[in-house]
Structure 1
Amino acid sequence: MSPTMAEFGVLCLTSLFTMINPISIAPVFLSLTSGLEPYQRKQVARKATLTAFVILVFFALTGSVIFQVFGISVHGLRIVGGVLFFIMGYEMVQARLSRTRFDKAEELEAIDAYSHDVALTPLAIPLICGPGAIATVIILMQEQTLTHQMILFVSIAAVLLVTWVALLFASPIMNRVGESGNKVMMRVMGLIVMVIAVEYFFAGLKPIMRDILGIPA
């Protein structure tokens, strides 16, 4: 049974927001663009979010093709996605920034070598559009009506719009939130990610166990 539009919309927004986590990207964005002018920062923010939007929509639309080519079932992806999300959520609860951690040498090298492409790597990929976000849109796109799929696309656009705003105002946001506030927010998001992970895991495991045990749906 497909979820209602409101339920699915909340699921999409919550899942994507916690996977992308715009607040955690802000300090990395500041460090990577420290040598750029304000107008250049705006260009980088716009290019990064637009690139992430194209990538997420692409994987949402081609997810079923990927399943067919590699013989992957949506139930298997839900189980793997659940495990992946749980690990990510656990790291967030521990207030670890492993997904967005760069040492200073790597940051300076990225700025020097990719001054014009920093919006693509590492901002768009993998910071904004990482494995968790890609797996999320593929899972949410499967076995849904056209209306639900449109809600997913709108949710992707909405979350990336928030991400774009967070990048534009990264400096005042980080000054106001502070390190302690960022850790508290990350822990709360981590709990949400872990709950979503459990739901994904058992949503994939349940039909597989029914097939194994011969129990009708």
Structure 2
Amino acid sequence: MDSYISYFLLVFMSFFTLINPFGSMPVFLSMSSDLQPKQRNRTARKAVIVAFFTLLLFAFAGNYIFQIFGISVNSLKVVGGIIFLMVGHDMLEARIGRTKISDSEKQVNAYVNDISITPLAIPMICGPGAITNAILLMQDAETTVKKGVLVLAIAAIMMLTYFIYYGGTKILHRIGDTGTKVMMRIMGLIVMVIAVEFLFGGLKPILVDIIQSATNPQ
């Protein structure tokens, strides 16, 4: 029993470090600042649910998916970097805020659905690091019980992420409209820095492989 508890803590802490819900929470607040509390909570809930099932999908079938489509984790990092770069640029120019201002409930719902899936669920919560971690940990889980513990740990980190996002909404009431706009631009800059890290983190191994293949042809 102690070994399973230790394994749960190991999995939980590894995902907590990679997902870093405290780091992504200000981005979530910036992107959902003009939404009503109920809509903001629905956005957070949908984001963690989508991220949870995405992680499970890659945990159980990640290797097969990569093999079928011929993709790699490095390619995933490049795509994630491009998505972050676009979102960060929009946040810097406050385009996200302008997109949200609408009297149409249909448009608001569409916006909630859009940001809850991308970029919140993928790749902010369920990023390349978390996906790789899920695949590797599932490969190391020899028994059915360990696989169950892994799924439980992923569910626990998703619940914690939701509560962190939910609790963070109280910050918006304190900083006001001006503070929200300032925070959006600051977080936009940070998201763009993360994008560059993702982009070059994925491009470097790809370029190294290309150079090695060119210099050492088979």
Residue number among 103, 112, 129 corresponding to 2:92 in the alignment: 103
2:39–2:112 CA contact under 8 A, matched in 1: no
CA distance in 1, matches of 2:133, 2:95: 28
Q: Is the 8 A contact 2:34 2:97 kept in 1?
A: no
- Quote how far apart the aligned CAs of 1:103 are: 2.3
Larger helix percent: 2
Once the two structures are TM-superposed, the CA of residue 141 in structure 1 deviates from its matched residue by 0.3
Q: 2:161 aligns with which of 155, 160, 163?
A: 163
2:64: which partner in 1?
A: 65
**Closer/same/farther in 2, CA of residues 142 and 71 from structure 1, 3 Å limit:** farther
- Give the unaligned 5+ runs of structure 2: 78-83, 102-106, 175-182, 184-218
Percent identity over paired residues? 38
What is the CA-CA distance between 1:154 and the residue it aligns to?
A: 0.3
- Which digits, 9 at most, give the CA deviation of each residue in 1:109-136, with x for residues without a partner? 6647861321111111111111111111
Q: Is the 8 A contact 1:32 1:111 kept in 2?
A: no
Q: Which amino acid aligns with 2:44?
A: A
> 2:145 is matched with which residue: 144, 147, 169?
147
TM-score normalised over the length of structure 2: 0.59
Contact 2:58–2:131 (8 Å) recurs in 1? yes
Q: Which residue matches 1:7?
A: 6
DSSP 3-state at the match of 1:4: helix
Give the conservation status (yes or no) of the 8 Å contact 1:32–1:110. no
Q: CA deviation at 1:108?
A: 3.2
Deviation at 1:64, TM superposition (A): 4.0
Cα distance between partner residues in 1 of 2:123 and 2:66: 22
Q: For the residues of structure 1 that align with 2:17 and 2:58, how far apart are their CA atoms?
A: 18
SS of match in other structure, 2:94:
helix
Tell me if the contact between 1:9 and 1:152 (Cα under 8 Å) persists in the aligned partners.
yes
Stretches of 4+ aligned residues off by more than 3 angstroms: 66-72, 104-114, 171-175
Cα separation, 2, equivalents of 1:120 and 1:62: 20
Distance in 1 separating the partners of 2:129 and 2:159: 18
CA contact (8 A) 1:20 1:130 kept: yes
In structure 2, relative to structure 1, the CA distance for the partners of 1:35 and 1:11 (3 Å cut) is same
Deviations, residues 57-79 of structure 1 (Å, cap 9, x unaligned)? 0111102424664799xxx98xx
2:125 paired residue number: 128
Counterpart contact for 1:25–1:127, Cα < 8 Å? yes
Q: Quote the Cα distance in structure 2 between the aligned partners of 1:111 and 1:123.
A: 16
CA–CA distance in structure 2, aligned partners of residues 13 and 41 of structure 1:
26
Residue correspondences, number: 153
For 1:31, the equivalent position in structure 2 comes to 30
Matches within 5 A, 1:43-54: 43-54=42-53
Aligned CA RMSD, in angstroms, stands at 3.3
Q: Distance in 2 between matches of 1:109 and 1:139?
A: 41
In structure 1, distance between residues paired with 2:171 and 2:22: 8
- Counterpart CA distance in 2 for 1:111 and 1:126 is 21
Q: 1:146 to 1:22 in 2, by over 3 A?
A: same
Deviations 1:24-68 (CA, angstroms, capped at 9, x unpaired): 111111111111001111111111110101100011110242466
